[in-house]
Structure 1
Amino acid sequence: MPTANHHAEFKLSITRALADQLAAALRTLTPSPLTADALDRLPKGPGVYQLHVDGAPVYVGKASKSLPARLRKHHRKLSGRPIAGAVSFVCLYLDEDLEASAPEKMLLGKYEGKYERAGDDQARKLPWNNNGFGNNDPGRRRDGSEVEANHFDALYPVSLDLTIDWLSPGRRPTGEVLAELKKALPYNLRFEKDSVRAREDYKTITDVPSHPMTVRAALQLVVAALPEGWQATALPGYLIVYYENTSYKSAQCWWRRSGTGVVETSGPRLFAPATEIAEESSDEDEDN
């Protein structure tokens, strides 16, 4: 005779319930192209969002202060990368109490199978989560490190053939040209600032033409204007300009003065083994 159970253990998973509701709410939304016009129409406020490429989800994230500002940061970054496919987004606005409970981690756990899944709802990895997509400039000490083979920057390196038509023309101090490039490029440009040599050498004149040019051509102009010994380097995820003679392991290429010309040298493009890359938390998402 079967034994009747008169007791059982009940476990309430608030996290799972919230993850289920967040995922269900996102599924009801129609993805919008990730464009400046679409982002301009979004109201400010904290929340979670999901990025898609050609309709497939690739990343979930959180904006602590302003969804449009956080999404603009992604839009700007992606505009300088060779992304093959149409990028779109959906987002949910959340109240402050729920926003503080790491809703993006709940959603990521939902996708990756951390919680029980129903029917044919298969667990899957979102490729841009945990591959460095949302991370910022790692800093000077990391410039010489090998970038992981699965890092977003290794998969989608900054485009050097991006055309720029906004650089102010004329004979201008090189430091001023570098500052304008840094402000307007869709990826980071870091250059030596604090040395006496830099302050003096940046007074040299760069003759900026009035016609559009590529980022590659702009860097060649800058290096040509600086005294011999300066080097511009295109790393996978950003650009640097320093007084040095350094071969960077993961570099795309670098430029150095040689006599009266500038020589471009292809980099080794060596990468470290693939690994899971920790996502940095960022609160740099508030509109100016």
Structure 2
Amino acid sequence: MPLDNHAEFKLSITKALGDQLAAALEDLTPAPLTAENIQALRPLPGVYQLHKNDELVYVGKAERSLPRRIEKHFRKISGRTNITLSEMSFTCLYVDEDFGAVAPERLLINKHRGQGEVPWNYNGFGNNDPGKRRDTTEVDAAHFDRAHPIDLEFKLAQLLSDAAGDSDVSLASLLAAAKTSLPYVFRYESSAVFDEIQVPRPPEEITADEVLRLAASHLPTPWQITALPGYVIMYRKAEEYPSARRYYRGTDVVDFPGH
């Protein structure tokens, strides 16, 4: 006769914590992803969820400041096509006790992934600058950058507001201002010659495409600006990139609309 006075028991504290985090977030009402709602948050660490319409698409963490981290996503989405900020909302929890040790965002990702949710956690949405090695690779069809490529018609206001009058500005100043103002990565190789090249001062409102055209038209050969699906690069080499959407070579602009 088999004994029934013993059995195996596996304690899963991490699963219990993940379930508690998910339940606490589910009790919250998603707020529209707006600058005002982000600024209303306290600068504390925590976890957050992004919703596209009614779909939970991304779970993330902020080790220091939730508003700072969520603002990066706000800025990124604002500079993409095939998506609008009006579709987006978010919830968040302040989590400041043993934050690094428990990895709360990983607990949430694992839970929601098992339910077929959080697709943006696995398609490159949370990536920052992927580095030069990524430049020459083909962007997968399921990648966030392929579904929502950068918006080259994004409008920049007062790009060089500190420039005096109608005077020309240095190409170095124009490139630095574009790098700071664009809502996506603009990575370029610097050169002392850019300080010597003068370009017309851009108007108070100008699109990303117009800025890149202006810069490219003053670049010496063989410099090239390339718009990739998720960011822009500029190097002293007229290289071909498999996922290029647009090349800026001097005054010539070559489009690859399918990318």
Per the normalisation by structure 2, the TM-score is 0.91
1:209 equivalent to 2:206? Answer: no
Which residue in the other structure is 1:160 paired with?
152
3-state secondary structure, aligned to 2:111: helix
- Tell whether the 8 Å contact from 2:159 to 2:204 is kept in structure 1 after alignment: no
Q: Please report how far the alpha carbon of residue 228 of structure 1 lies from its aligned counterpart in structure 2 after TM superposition.
A: 3.2
Which residue in the other structure is 2:102 paired with?
101
- Tell whether the 8 Å contact from 1:247 to 1:267 is kept in structure 2 after alignment: no
Is the alpha carbon distance of 1:124 and 1:102 closer, same or farther for their aligned partners in structure 2, counting shifts above 3 Å? same
1:78 equivalent to 2:70? Answer: no
Structure 2 unaligned residues grouped into runs of 5+:
none
3-state secondary structure, aligned to 2:200: strand
Which residue in the other structure is 1:132 paired with?
124
Map 1:29-108 → 2, pairs under 5 A: 29-82=28-81, 83-84=83-84, 86-108=87-109
AA partner of residue 132 (structure 1): G
CA distance in 1, matches of 2:14, 2:47: 15
CA distance in 1, matches of 2:157, 2:91: 31
% identity of equivalent residues: 47
1:227 equivalent to 2:220? Answer: yes
- Tell whether the 8 Å contact from 1:48 to 1:91 is kept in structure 2 after alignment: yes
> What do residues 132-152 of structure 1 show as CA deviations (whole Å, max 9, x unaligned)?
111111222331111222111
Is the alpha carbon distance of 1:268 and 1:35 closer, same or farther for their aligned partners in structure 2, counting shifts above 3 Å? closer
AA partner of residue 96 (structure 2): D
3-state secondary structure, aligned to 1:61: strand
CA distance in 1, matches of 2:204, 2:40: 33
Which residue in the other structure is 2:253 paired with?
264
Given candidates 175, 180, 183, the residue that maps to 2:180 is 183
Decide which moves more: 15-24 or 161-170: 161-170
Higher relative contact order (CA 8 A, sep 6+): 1
AA partner of residue 31 (structure 1): P
- Tell whether the 8 Å contact from 1:249 to 1:267 is kept in structure 2 after alignment: no
Cα RMSD of the aligned pairs, angstroms, is 1.9
CA distance in 2, matches of 1:227, 1:124: 50
Given candidates 195, 215, 231, the residue that maps to 1:238 is 231
CA distance in 2, matches of 1:71, 1:112: 21
* Total equivalences in the alignment: 252
3-state secondary structure, aligned to 1:225: coil
Per the normalisation by structure 1, the TM-score is 0.82
Q: Please report how far the alpha carbon of residue 211 of structure 1 lies from its aligned counterpart in structure 2 after TM superposition.
A: 4.4
Decide which moves more: 35-44 or 143-152: 143-152
CA distance in 2, matches of 1:36, 1:166: 19
Given candidates 146, 152, 168, the residue that maps to 2:138 is 146
- Tell whether the 8 Å contact from 2:169 to 2:198 is kept in structure 1 after alignment: yes
Is the alpha carbon distance of 1:4 and 1:100 closer, same or farther for their aligned partners in structure 2, counting shifts above 3 Å? closer
